[in-house]
Amino acid sequence: MNAIFTGSDADDLVPALEAEGVSVTRIDGVATRPALEDAGIVDADLFVITDVGQATAVPIARDLVDDLRVVVYSRDSLPEFASGQVDFAVDPELLGPDAVAEELTGA
């Protein structure tokens, strides 16, 4: 399983995903269409966002990959324009990184 990750990882979701066998590519900076393409979004299974300020990347990623699972892992609310395009949104206060990684990988 391949994941593209954007935003900070203050809650250590990347190590939890990697422990479940997920190959994670991080986007540093803004997740623009070129940044998503350079990171390999077309071959990704998951797109994980921890910064809802990057919500504009959700419709871009959806446009590039039809069957992409989009996950938001943030304490902040997702803007309405993107919320309907997200498969799984969870607050780190409610569910820890290990449980999220297990859920996403079916472990």
Query: Is the separation of the CB atoms in 78 and 50 below 8 Å?
Result: no
- Give the start-end residues of each E strand in 1-107: 2-6, 23-27, 46-49, 69-73, 88-90
Q: What is the pLDDT of residue 107?
A: 61
Q: Write down how long the chain is.
A: 107
* C-alpha span between 1 and 44 (Å, rounded): 7
pLDDT, tens only, 39-74: 999 999 999 999 999 999 999 999 999 899 999 999
- Give 90's pLDDT tier (boundaries 50, 70, 90): very high
pLDDT, tens only, 75-88: 999 999 898 899 99
Q: Which amino acid makes up residue 81? A: F
What is the average pLDDT across 11-20?
97
* C-alpha span between 107 and 101 (Å, rounded): 8
Residue 86 makes CB contacts below 8 A (sequence gap 6+) with 58, 70, 71, 72, 78
Please give the residue that has the higher pLDDT: either 24 or 66. Answer: 24
Percent of the chain at pLDDT exceeding 70? 99
* Res. 1: pLDDT tops 90: yes
Q: What is the pLDDT of residue 105?
A: 92
Whole-prediction pTM value? 0.93
